[in-house]
Amino acid sequence: MRGVFRIIVVALLLAGCSRSPGEAARDEPADDAPALREGIVTVSGDDAVSETLTWRAPAVEIPADGVDDVLERAGEALQAGNLAIDAGSAVPLYMALSKAAPDDARVRDGLRRALAAVIARGDAALAQAGDDISALREAHQMAAVARAVDGDDKAVLGYLERIDQADTLWDLNREGELALADGDYGEDGGGALAKFREALKLAPGQPRAMQGLAATESAMIRNAEIAADKADFEGAKRWLVAAAKIRPEMSTVPDAAARVERQRSARVARLRDLGVAALAQPDGLEQARRRLAEVLLIALPGDPAAADLRERIDLAEHYGQFRPGQQFTDGLKNGARGPQMVVVPHGAFYMGATKDDDQATDLERPRHPIRFARGLAMSITEVTVGDFRRFINATGRQTRAERRGYSMAYDERSGNFVRMSGVDWRSDYAGNPATDDLPVLHVSARDAEAYAEWLSEQSGHAYRLPSEAEFEYALRAGGATPYPWGTGAPPKGSGNYTGAKDRSPTGRHWNNAFDGYGDGFWGPAPAGRFDANAWQVRDLAGNVSEWVADCWHDGYRRAPSDGTAWLNPGCRTRVVRGGSWASAPVQTRSSWRAPAGVDSTNGRIGFRVVREI
């Protein structure tokens, strides 16, 4: 609750406690107090209210022969919890009865029970008044009623003392919160810490004050992390030392210190990566040396990242002909050109699904860091039918689908994938003749690897299928969101996905699709038709799913950390990555992966290649 709660309640409540029940309080405000109407407490900010500090019992007329009837009504009101709302409430009735029949024991007993109920209700409100201004108001209201009944009663005086303590606690906590909001933490004395600690001396363990201490500690820790973000690790240390004094029994600060050290390590690693990236740029040697100087200012002695960057700088004059983002094609011995490639920058990322991705399974975990020491070149699009045709014409290879005489293709009549005879790499997703600009389909993982081996032989460079880590790294392109584009439906023109607006040739639509999205295709689109990602690679998340080099494993435990393919001799099940034109939205997520038999062929899986540089 924001605002300053200026309460003059207790002084006014206690003043004149010996007055008769109907007499109004007339205390004068202090010179520096805000102007008050008689019996009014002023609260500013979001807590602003006006509450009377005195309570006058409504007038109740009791006929000479009506004592018993009014006594019965008072008892019913008391039982119903109607204490002091109006003239029909228990307290006004009993107070009127005490004047009409002062010697009636029943009246005295009823008034005593009514007063006890008022105090009980006030105490119940006080129990919630630590951070609830409405509860504190109610407690004050009950105090005004109790004082009007009997301001000299011992129980009433005790209750007023409890009100006093609640007001003091409120003020201390509020002042502490305001100091905290202003950044006056009190690490050198005073400030928020002093207020919260004073409140805890008054009421040990009081939740709001305890929360205030924890919030102050958290703010100091945040300042340490901000300092670390700015590479001020000495400043971060000073904040952590101050924070450690607040709740030394807790592990919060040691945990934060570990995070700051991770920030240091991450910053060192980031600077190292920037230095390596600079070496790939023209005249980038001096920039790389400046990055090394930054690393040495913050790194601990013997940091391996600093040693690595120093070594790379020493080698920079004699190494490297590519730069990140560069596009090229290799000439082939037969006079043709290979697929168009783009250099994907080296670096690091976290591979796999986050813990809070509720669409992910354990097959996509644990999320783990991958670091690529070098960049790589990746084909901008999937390998096309035309690309693959040149390979077949040059080698005479018979693909898996050709040898067995069928593949799995889409059947428009049933809306399912079915076995179709005569379908092979020349066919589209539905088994019809494919144009050369479409991604090649109905090829097995071994067919794809054979194409990469042929490219290597023809170009003199090392071509292969991407590793699973390389594929996800390029797909994310520096992002870390569930989908390559972030969250929600894909942006217009970003890819060929299952959209709610898509329609098949006969009017079919997807039961599970991205709401409001349509790309105009039912089946794969020509390669490269949609927007490139931040690293100029296209169709990684959609169009067709793709073979990668890795053998299938049910998760990432013990997976390579350098981005290389995870292989097992003779494995029969490979990994497929990336969504396709017929994939559910959950299968279009950046971390999605699936197993497929090494000889599987169908109308949804194609491939692309990478090249060592």
The string of pLDDT tens digits covering residues 479-534 is 999 999 999 999 999 999 999 999 999 999 999 999 999 999 999 999 999 999 99
pLDDT in tens, 469-489: 999 999 999 999 999 999 999
Q: Which of 588, 559, 561 is closest to 576 using CA atoms?
A: 588
pTM: 0.53
Q: Is the pLDDT at 282 greater than 90, yes or no?
A: no
Instruction: Name the residue with tokens 């670091």.
Output: 371
pLDDT value of residue 322: 74
Query: In the 3-class helix/strand/coil scheme, how is 177-225 assigned residue by residue?
Result: HHHHHCCCCCCCCCHHHHHHHHHHHHCCCCHHHHHHHHHHHHHHHHHHH
Query: How many residues comprise the chain?
Result: 613
Query: In the 3-class helix/strand/coil scheme, how is 2-15 assigned residue by residue?
Result: CCCCCCCHHHHHHC
Task: Reduce the DSSP state of residue 377 to 3 states and report it.
Answer: strand
CATH 3.90.1580.10 assigned to domain 323-613? The reply is yes
Q: Residue 221's CB: how many other CB atoms inside 10 A?
A: 24
Which amino acid is present at 59? A
pLDDT band at residue 36 using 50, 70 and 90 as cut-offs:
very low
Task: Reduce the DSSP state of residue 279 to 3 states and report it.
Answer: helix
Report the DSSP pairing between strands 605-606 and 376-379. Answer: unpaired
Q: Residue 371's beta-bridge partner residues?
A: 348
In the β-sheet with 327-328, what is the strand arrangement from edge to edge?
Answer: 327-328, 341-344, 376-379, 610-611, 463-464
Q: Is the pLDDT at 554 greater than 90, yes or no?
A: yes
Q: Residue 538's beta-bridge partner residues?
A: 532
- Give the residue-averaged pLDDT of 573-589: 98
Domain ranges of the chain: 9-150, 259-320, 323-613
pLDDT value of residue 585: 97
- Give the residue-averaged pLDDT of 184-213: 93
The share of the chain scoring above pLDDT 70, in percent, equals 90
Q: Is the pLDDT at 418 greater than 80, yes or no?
A: yes
Q: Is the pLDDT at 6 greater than 50, yes or no?
A: no
